[in-house]
Structure 1
Amino acid sequence: MTTTPPDQSLPSEGREMGRQRVRSRTDRKLVDATMRIALQRGVDAVTIEEVSRISGVAKTTIYRRFHNRQELLDGIAHTEMVRPLDMSHTSFDVEGIAERIHAAVQEFDEAFGVKAVGQVMSSDSGFFHSVVVNVLEPVRNRIADYFKRGAQAHKFRPDLDVDFILDLTLGGMVATAALHDGVPQEWPHRMAEFLWPHIEALPQGNTGSQPTNPTQPLQTVA
């Protein structure tokens, strides 16, 4: 009786999907190991041998992808570390702002952790600069897009200083993560509640005063 060889038991599409899953898991291990070494001991400590030891991925496998250490660093810096969350239907209110901030926390945690964001952004290393361009800036741009769409929908102030809001939110996120060993579950909502009075659009026809713009200095009375 003729039997089907094990490697032919699945349709070609299934075998290809299996290979892609294995490759994806390997990519994740290499990213995590490289970032861990670079953040804890510096970029100079990243070697193929050390990445292999930390990740558990065989050196032969790594060398099939990267010929040397520099190719490894370049490849990791350009790897998709974050899977963007679909926020296209997020509401433009306190709950929506909290949801958008929480999504950013998740994205940073998936990449290398919120606590490491400040270290990555402040480093003068070419490797970390590439990580900023390919990982951090896209996350920041997605948050900016949310606030811009909210202003266009007349839910947020039309003169909203998006860059300032982003600096305030991301800076607070990184500081909170450093102080509390992570971002507490309730923090995104607390930040959203803080921001809302300053960015909420006035109802049409309402000429009342708007809450103080956090981008403008407070006026003092002599």
Structure 2
Amino acid sequence: MVVDADVEPASVSPRRSVKSRAGTDSRILGAVLAILRAHGPNRVTVESVAALSGVAKTTIYRRYANRDELVEAALDSQSAAPRMPDGLCVYDRVKWTLDLLRVALSSDIGMGSVSAVLTDQDPDFTESFRDIINSRSQVAAEVLRAAVEAGALRADLDIDTAVSTLVGSYLGAYLRHGRVDETWADEVVHMVCPGLERGSAAD
């Protein structure tokens, strides 16, 4: 059942109202992201988001003028790259960046969005998607540079090509097998830096 989530009883406190609005926003953007993951941007409509989120179209329209604003807000919610945990060794730093890329491609935005970018269905969406991937790629590049400085990777490594290779490794595994095994990150670390083991100094 779709309900008008902005309608609050007079007795509801302002704090509860703010929490309710935040919950409604989360449901709306969560639905947009779920549709993007599965189908790409062309399937995002106010009607499809309302049906999946359970939030009334009138409520959605009070927040977003159209589906373009819905997509933009959903992508903006994924634009900031997570902060790396402190105290990781070089091996775990490299693996963490692989997981960062994997999550971006599989869970945060999904293969439906990847397909849309590869066919350039929506140029604005393609640009926003690349911004997200590049923000995570920048984190990966910084980790690889640190690994070079630590002697774990060869000194003449082309960082940009290495990052593209890491992204391509995930896409290649998905295209060939329809899934990516949980061991993927470990296997790639061993391939990229065969001499690197857990516990390697971080600096």
TM, length-normalised to structure 1: 0.68
The within-5 A match list for 1:55-66 is 55-66=53-64
Q: Where do 5+ consecutive residues of structure 1 fail to align?
A: 201-222
The within-5 A match list for 1:1-222 is 7-8=12-13, 16-17=18-19, 19-37=21-39, 39=40, 43=42, 45-80=43-78, 84-93=82-91, 95-113=92-110, 115-116=111-112, 118-124=114-120, 125-197=122-194
Q: Does structure 1 conserve the Cα–Cα contact (< 8 Å) formed by 2:93 and 2:143?
A: no
Q: Where do 5+ consecutive residues of structure 2 fail to align?
A: 1-9, 198-203
Question: Per-residue CA shift, 1:21-80, capped at 9, x if unaligned?
Answer: 44334322232235534x2xx62x432223322333321121011112333333334332
Q: Does structure 2 conserve the Cα–Cα contact (< 8 Å) formed by 1:34 and 1:76?
A: no
Describe the shift of the 1:18–1:157 C-alpha distance in structure 2 as closer, same or farther (beyond 3 A): farther
Aligned to 1:216: none
Higher relative contact order (CA 8 A, sep 6+): 2
Q: CA deviation at 1:160?
A: 1.6
Describe the shift of the 1:15–1:127 C-alpha distance in structure 2 as closer, same or farther (beyond 3 A): same
Q: CA deviation at 1:116?
A: 4.2
Q: State the identity as a percent.
A: 21
Q: Does structure 2 conserve the Cα–Cα contact (< 8 Å) formed by 1:47 and 1:69?
A: yes
Aligned residues: 187
Q: CA deviation at 1:153?
A: 3.8
CA distance in 1, matches of 2:44, 2:16: 35
CA distance in 2, matches of 1:143, 1:117: 21
CA distance in 1, matches of 2:116, 2:86: 28
TM, length-normalised to structure 2: 0.73
